[in-house]
Amino acid sequence: MLARLTIYGLTEKIIIPIAQIASGEPYGVPPRPEMTAPQLRRTIATACRILANAGLAEDILGHVSARVGTDTILVRCRGPREQGLLLTLDEDVRQVDLDGRGDELESWSVPTELPIHAEILRARPAVDAVVHCHPPAVLAAALAGVELRPVFGAYNIPAARMALDGIPVYPRKILVRRPELGRELVAAMGVAPVCVLSGHGIVTVGSGPHAVEQAVVRALNLGLLARVGVEQARLGGRPADLTPEDIAELPDLGAAFNDLNLWRHHVARLRLTGLELD
């Protein structure tokens, strides 16, 4: 039995098996072969560079992980010649268990806030990738009490829907460096794909064969919501939320459009600036 989804604005129909829908994989994306460890390392390293190049990770702080087993992840670690997320290399991505142990760590160290990744992945089996970074606009919005509201629509439909769904906030302004703190964050985040860490940064997650790309795009969209919110507050505006009638006219264009096209765009921007990995 097949489910049929029409992507508005395109001429083709994408046929999605019910099993793919039940699995939580993104709609509109043909399943890709399982990535090898080197390919996944490259995707995570590229994700770090994209986040930094987009201004969501300004220096050495932030990390990306992807699940490779029930209790095993690849995660961006800090190496002996650390230069920051913008210059992340494949070799900075190391395989460890959810407690941060691994034979291949060598002179690399796991993130201090590994419990962010570990506790989300323990609590949410459908999650396959986690992003944590420190977008300045999100920090400013949270500290100023600026609510990230659904005030625009077609400008960025996924970001608008993110605001419509509500964005949870973890209120403690701390390093999430112990498992019990990670569990607090998990409780605050619930089943949402994103969470703001007040006075700190953000966490986003992704699922399925393009989980890293999805988590990165969610971080980009959350950063955009914050920038718009901060700017409208600076200008003294208070625009109305989207109306139900307008919401009904905002289709889901599918993950192939929303996530993968934007990911490729940001990879191309790395290439243009000479920051794409060889």
Q: In the prediction, which pLDDT does 214 show?
A: 97
Which tokens in the block code for residue 90? Answer: 């494949």
Three-state DSSP class for 171? coil
Q: In the prediction, which pLDDT does 24 show?
A: 41
Task: Give the C-alpha separation, 206 to 218, whole Å.
Answer: 8
Q: Which residues contact 275 (CB under 8 A, 6 or more apart)?
A: 49, 53, 86, 87
Chain segment 100-118, per-residue pLDDT in tens: 999 889 999 999 999 999 9
Write out the E strands in the chain.
Answer: 2-6, 13-17, 63-69, 72-76, 93-97, 129-133, 169-170, 194-197, 201-206
Sign of CA dihedral 226, 228, 234, 240: negative
Q: In the prediction, which pLDDT does 54 show?
A: 97
Q: What ranges do the domains of the chain cover?
A: 36-272
CA angle 158, 159, 161 (to 5 degrees): 65
User: Out of 82, 104, 113, 249, which one is annotated catalytic?
Assistant: 113
The amino acid at 60: I
Q: In the prediction, which pLDDT does 92 show?
A: 97
CA neighbor of 93 nearest in space, from 74, 112, 119: 74
The model carries a pTM of 0.87
Q: In the prediction, which pLDDT does 14 show?
A: 34
**Averaged pLDDT, groups of 10, the chain, 278 residues long:** 33 35 42 77 98 94 96 96 96 97 93 98 98 97 93 95 96 97 98 97 97 98 96 90 95 84 97 96
144 sits in the region (left: phi over 0; alpha: psi -120 to 50; else beta) called alpha
Q: In the prediction, which pLDDT does 33 show?
A: 55
Three-state DSSP class for 228? helix
Task: Give the C-alpha separation, 99 to 242, whole Å.
Answer: 43
Fold assignment, 36-272: L-fuculose-1-phosphate Aldolase (3.40.225)
Q: Which residues pair with 94 in a beta bridge?
A: 75
Note if 12 is an active site residue: no
